[in-house]
A and B are shown apart, each in its own frame.
Chain A
Amino acid sequence: MGPGSARFLFRTFKRILAANTAALEGMARMDRALGGEYVFDTAYLESAVREVCRLTHLSAYHLNGMADETYVGLYDAYLAVKDALEDILAGGMGPLAARRVLSFAEIGWELEPLVGLVAVGLAVLGRRMGLPAPDGLAVTVTGMAELSGDEREGVVAEVEAGVAALFARLGGPRPLELTLVTAGTDGAGKILATAFADSAQAAGLAVAGFARDHCGGGAVAVCLRPLLTGVLAGTLQTLAHDPNLPPAMLAVAWPMAASAAAPHALPALADRCWFSRTAPHAPLRTRLAVKPLDSVLPGGRPLTPSRGRSLRGSGFITPQQGAVLAELGLAAERALGGPCLLSWVLAADGGFWLTGLEPAETAFPEWSQGSDAAASVPGETERLLSGGHIACAGVGAGPVVLLNDDTPVASVPLGSVGVASIASPALSRIVPRLGALLAEVGGPASHLATVARENRVPAIFGLAGATALAVGTMVTVDAEQTAVYPGVVESLLRQAAMQGARLGSEPEYLILRRLLRHIRPLNLVDPAAGNFDPAHCRTCHDILHFAHEKAVGLLLAIDSSGRRSLGAPRRLREDSPFELGIVDVGGGLTGTGDTVGLAEVTSLPLKALLEGLLRRDVQRPGPAHLGLGDVMAGMVRTSQALAATPEAAGANLALAAGDYANITLRLGYHFSVVDAVVSDRPEHNFIYFRFAGGFADGDRRARRAALLLTVLERLGFRASRQGDLVVGKRKLLETGEALSVLRFLGALAAYTRQLDVELASEDDVARFARQFLELCGLVPPNAATPEDA
């Protein structure tokens, strides 16, 4: 068995699979550590990075073994990622450390020491979490340091260019607000100075002025964003201590000054209102300013003066607005990992904008250290539910809301406790609104768990009985204890708030976030795209994915005639919708002969897929009805197919081992690939599905792709679609679940064969998706599908 032989290719392919699986497990563990599931230290970070790097390199090495060193560029990509990771472990900031100006789009939490808290906060809250926060840019610690040296002109020019780019994104020049903050590894994000500018040049000068005034005063950074104006301005302290109140939030509100010179200056005329930290955030106490008669009040109508010429008893913000503000504050606090002080503006249209943030100034150690701290925590007997796994540590309280894939985002009250039967990726869009998340089925390695961690929403997955919680009742979720308590348990919330204040800013967590930025994101998703090459691999995940995709491609190119010593395929002798050749690559088939029956298939994943494929009830009868457009489109594709090599247009082929199957189906002009490992070890199991092509016009092919996407998401796949290309993946499945999913995929392949020509309208997508899901028992008949909404 030499290099290039089919058996060598297959054996090497399995090594790539093993390396990728182990690397993805390591990455998932690092991700879960970020969510608080594991207790770790710096030694773990070093060993975890070392192992993921080793496996990534191994994957690249084996791919080059399969491809006769075609992808040596992958080694360069690997070395670039490894250098960045080693720099971060050594205390550096990675490749971005040399940048002097960064736009918000480039900023994640892990860059806090480089750009300061206010820029990182606004960037993440606005761009990643979808909260109302402005676009902007940051002058980094590096940029500010270089402004004091020989590079002054260059940095100022970069600031001006960055501002010009911001203006282009905003649709024109705007007045800007500039904030100088302490940064670096020891910088707490304290605001040192504020300035305003109305042009790129003025912004450059203001930044240079900051550098001059604070020269030698430690690491600083500057945040630049549009100066937002509105009816009111204010602050929100997300955790305000008052010995006579339960844990509260303090909102301070004042009318915005007309003068642009001091638009956020705190005037004497400011209301103070303490809100409950728990939904629906009732006001606990107010201290309202005595207002002159010309004050603008909610609704714009002055109230009748109750005493002299002043208004008493009327707040600038209504309790409803206060509740919205409180929820924004809690979302920011979750993301920040601890209490903070937010600045906000109430726009003329009634919407809030977050304009800045600082760490909370006061710590209240007595809250978590007090004599009754532990004694007041509820015991195990008081739990409504317990069990499952930590998807993201933390404590949250709120009213119970049942979620499913069809739940409209806007219908979920901010801060509620979402409960789902399955941790489906489709729930990702709802996560930022939640105070906590529970799922009966799902694990901490799932996509939804990653989303919960990104948003720092406390979450427990695999919690039996969660959907039996009464909708609307208040509950407290303590993910760390994997427990749900009735009502609002203030002692837990208080302790979590204090613990979070320390944990969120711990260097180990920031380093881990920074490391994951170079490990976890998958930038190369479309194998057909022009940039799907080694030079565009930016992360370990990119390299692993690239190696897997190319290795699958090399396997598919094996000549099914058997000339490359893989052996001749045996033809499936069942009543299949199409011909299928099966090659046994180790424990996949029993018996001998040119043909093989289903009973002789011993490959677990292939057998399950065939069981679905051979289902009579899902096969679509009769010839499809073709329109002229379909025929014309089909003719082009037919001529392309005729021009293709025999290998590319070859028969349907399955490679089968005991625990592995790779099935390539060319149904008509559709091209489907299923690649699956199913063993008794869930951490090794995965299912990969790819579909492209069709015989109908572009719209209909896209509709079919939409249908596939709908079904794949229902099956729990992390799926994406571009045009008529659909890619779906599931990992870390229990054996029974993996086999069940493969049966559905087989049925789906049979059901959607040539279906695209029947998809004349968007309504048909909904109809056929519902019909298929009903056939498979995945939704009750007549249940609404997303397309019905």
Chain B
Amino acid sequence: MIPDTPDTRAPGPDASTERRRTSILILDDEPIVCKRLKPFFQKAGYEAEAFNQPAEALARVEERRFDVVITDLKMQGLDGLAFLGKVKALYPDTDVIVITGFATLETARESFRKGVFDFVAKPFKLTKILDGVRRIEKERGLVP
């Protein structure tokens, strides 16, 4: 697993006026995906945490709420759809983007039935997933 110290904002006089950063949890059992996405979202100004183990990600979402969850669909241990179901049960207003290397029409339909915001097939461009997150921010009013 990638070391994941949650980012905390630097204390200081401007901290109270600083806009709250959108928080993102990334779950994919392929380490390479987490290693790409986490620094990318951090650079884009997001608060990002990444997990390779579904159980650890689940434990984390039980501790706190994330604005956006990005999860793989097929993983060992816990299926992505099951994870998304648990997230939605805990926080109905958390939006989920599913990423998968095994995209079929059926899995896409099933994902959307379960309330997935977007469905992205691997391999994908970084800008594509960033666009998805930005649409969520806009629809949820997370950005001015």
Contacts and interface: CB of A to CB of B under 8 A. Distances in A.
Nearest to A508: B32
A374 B122 contact: no
Nearest to B2: A502
Interface stretch (B4-12, B87-95, B105-113): B4-12
Given A44-B101, A374-B7, A39 B43 contact: no
A495 interface: yes
B45 A39 contact: no
Nearest to A29: B123
B60 interface: no
Given A374-B46, A480-B43, A495-B39, A369 B5 contact: yes
A368 B32 contact: no
> How many of chain B's residues touch chain A, expressed as a range?
20 to 34
B123 A495 contact: no
Interface residues on A, range: 35 or more
Interface in B8-29: 8-10, 21, 28
A579 B101 CA distance: 55
B9 A39 contact: no
Given A37-B125, A377-B45, A480-B43, A43 B101 contact: yes
Interface string A501-528: 0110010110000000000000000000
Interface string B25-64: 0001011110111011011111110000000000000000
Nearest to B72: A41
Interface string A477-502: 01011100000000010010001001
A372 B10 contact: yes
A38 B125 contact: yes
A373 B101 contact: no
Contact of B35 (A369, A373, A503): A503
Given A41-B101, A43-B122, A373 B42 contact: yes
Given A39-B122, A371-B7, A478 B43 contact: yes
Given A38-B123, A369-B5, A377 B43 contact: yes
A512 to B, nearest CB: 10
A375 interface: yes
B39 A39 contact: no
B77 interface: no
B46 A371 contact: no
A230 to B, nearest CB: 40
A421 B134 CA distance: 31
A44 B122 contact: yes
A47 interface: yes
A499 B50 CA distance: 14
A377 B43 CA distance: 6
Interface string A15-55: 00000000000000100010011111111100100000000
For the complex of A and B, 5 pairs with smallest distance between CB atoms = A43-B101, A40-B123, A38-B123, A41-B30, A374-B42
Interface of B: 3, 5, 7-10, 21, 28, 30-33, 35-37, 39-40, 42-48, 99, 101-102, 122-127, 129
Interface of A: 29, 33, 36-44, 47, 365, 368-369, 371-375, 377, 379, 390, 478, 480-482, 492, 495, 499, 502-503, 506, 508-509
13 contacts: A37-B125, A38-B124, A39-B36, A39-B122, A39-B126, A39-B129, A40-B32, A373-B42, A374-B45, A374-B47, A375-B7, A377-B45, A482-B127
